[in-house]
Amino acid sequence: MTEPQTWRVLGNADAHELVLAVDFDATGRAEGRFTDLAAGLAGLPFSIWETVPQEAGTGAGGTGPVERWLEEVAADGRPVRAVFGFCVGGVYAGAIAQRIAERQGRAPALVLFDPEQSGPLTLYSQFHKVLDSMSTLLSDEETAQAAAEARRAHEQHTEMAPLGAELLDVYRHTAKPVFDRLELDEKRQEEFTAVFASFVSYLIAAAEIDPLRAWREAVVVTSSSPTSGLNGSRGAGQDIAVGRELRVDVPHVDLLRDPGVTRTVAELLGTETRG
């Protein structure tokens, strides 16, 4: 068996069933990761695969990344027990679960952690998070300048692609002095920018998928953070129908590494078999 390229195997490589997890695991982020959850599930007989962030520009359209991920799952041939999604990853997870259900004739369990839809505002606020993470390396003026440019970009574009392109542009020239301060060479600068670019394409492609039908079948784990996942949608006056919602008293950042949530997920994998 060759090692998958678009997935990272998080454990139990040789188990008989797969659990797929969709997330943009941007490292250094505050939120818990599927790696944490997988560590807690290591005793279960599933091989957990997590999506590898795709390079920006590979493929086009919302199904692009989904197709590439599915190809390798199909090539592997093992049945898929469940599909997980974190945040915007929930959008892809829904699409993947639907396709796998068609293929294997049995719907995998769809478990979403604070699922969120993607849109221009997601892009815009994620840009702010990235900017905030650099703020200790930027001067006040540089930060303010970047924030203003991002705002203008958001003001001008409602389409994801041009907004993403422009935010990427702002990112590039804002990050430049930081790169120089850290004495990063060209290659590193490009690579680093590519990570953000990849994240931008991840959000853009997600915005093209309507996940709501798939989510109606999902088990959703909702954190205690008022602005995350379904809490956030409800705050915005949007009531999203899901199969079952489990509200846990754990903040969004800890959702994937909370032992209680891990136990709940383990139980779900044991009992949640549909189809």
Partner 1 sequence: MPEATQPRSLPADSKEHALWLLDELVPVKGVNNLSVALQADAALLGPAVQGTVELLLRRHEALRTVFRQEEAGLTKEVLDADALRIEIEELAAEPGEVAAVVGEFIARPFDIDGRPLVRAALVRCADGDAFCLAVHHLVFDTVSGAVLLDEFTAGYTALAAGGEPPAELLAAQPPYREPAPRPAAVEYWRGQLAGADAAGLALWCGSEDLPEPTLTGDQVTADLSPRATEVLRRLQKELRAPEAVVLLAAYGLLLARHGAGPDLVVGTPVNVRAREASRAVGYHVNTLPMRIPVDLGGGFRGLVRTARDAFLGAVAHADVPVDVLTPELRRDGGASWRNTVFRHLFNYVPDDGRTTFPLADTTARRLPVENGFSKFDLEFFFLSSADRVSIRAAYYTQVLDRADVQGLLERFESLLLAAAAGPDLPMGELPLAGPSDRAVLAASNDTARPVEPADVLTAVRERVALAPSASAVVSGGRSTTYAELWGAAEHTRAVLADAGVGAGDIVALAAPRGPALAAAALGVWLAGAVYLPVDPEHPVQRLAYVLEDSGARAVLTAPGVELPEGVRARVLPLERVGQDGPLPDTSANGPDPDSCAYLIYTSGSTGKPKGTLISHRSLGNVVQHFAEELKVTAEDSVLWLTTFAFDISALELFLPLVCGGRLVVASDEARTDGRALLGEVVAHDVGIVQATPTTWRVVADAADGRLAGRRLVCGGEPLPPALARTLAASGGSLLHVYGPSETTIWSTSGPVPADVDRVDVGRPIANTQVFIVDPDGRELPVGVQGELCIAGAGVALGYHNRPELTAERFADHPVYGRHYRTGDLARLRPDGTVELLGRTDRQIKLRGHRIELGEVEAVLLGHPGMRDVAVVVVGRGGADAALVAFVESPDGLDAAGLTAHARSLLPSAAVPQEIVVLESLPTTANEKRDHLALTRLAEQRRAERSPAAEAVPEAQSGTAGQLLALWQTTLGRTDIGPDANFFDSGGHSLLGAQLVQRIEKTLGVPVRLTDLFAHPTPLAMAERLEAGA
Q: Rule CB under 8 A: which residues touch partner 1?
A: 8, 25-32, 52-53, 120-121, 125, 128, 131-137, 140-141, 143-149, 151, 154-159, 178-179, 182-185, 187-189, 191-192, 195, 225-227, 232, 235-237, 251-254, 257
Strands 7-11 and 46-51: antiparallel
CB closer to partner 1 out of 109 and 206: 206
Contact of 104 with 114, CB cutoff 8 Å: no
CB closer to partner 1 out of 85 and 149: 149
Supply the minimum distance, in Å, between the C-beta of residue 106 and partner 1: 31
Six token digits for residue 234:
């409800």
CB closer to partner 1 out of 45 and 259: 259
Secondary structure of residue 149 in the 3-state scheme: helix
Supply the minimum distance, in Å, between the C-beta of residue 178 and partner 1: 7
CB closer to partner 1 out of 107 and 153: 153
Supply the minimum distance, in Å, between the C-beta of residue 8 and partner 1: 6
HEC string of 28-77? CCCCCCHHHHHHHCCCCCEEEEEECCCCCCCCCCCHHHHHHHHHHHHHHC
CB closer to partner 1 out of 75 and 144: 144
- Other CB atoms within a 10 A radius of the CB of residue 19 amount to 28
Q: Which of 70, 116, 113 is nearest to 212 (CA)?
A: 116
Secondary structure of residue 45 in the 3-state scheme: coil
Contact of 240 with 230, CB cutoff 8 Å: yes
CB closer to partner 1 out of 98 and 126: 126
Supply the minimum distance, in Å, between the C-beta of residue 225 and partner 1: 8
Supply the minimum distance, in Å, between the C-beta of residue 234 and partner 1: 9
Contact of 197 with 168, CB cutoff 8 Å: yes
Report d(CA 31, CA 253) in Å as an integer: 4
| CA atoms within 13 Å, Cβ hemisphere of 9 | 17
Six token digits for residue 123:
């892009």
Contact of 174 with 134, CB cutoff 8 Å: yes
DSSP letter, residue 238: -
Supply the minimum distance, in Å, between the C-beta of residue 3 and partner 1: 10
Supply the minimum distance, in Å, between the C-beta of residue 126 and partner 1: 12
Supply the minimum distance, in Å, between the C-beta of residue 105 and partner 1: 33
CB closer to partner 1 out of 139 and 273: 139
CB closer to partner 1 out of 41 and 101: 41
DSSP letter, residue 23: -
Q: CA torsion, points 228, 23, 55, 91, in degrees to nearest 10?
A: -70
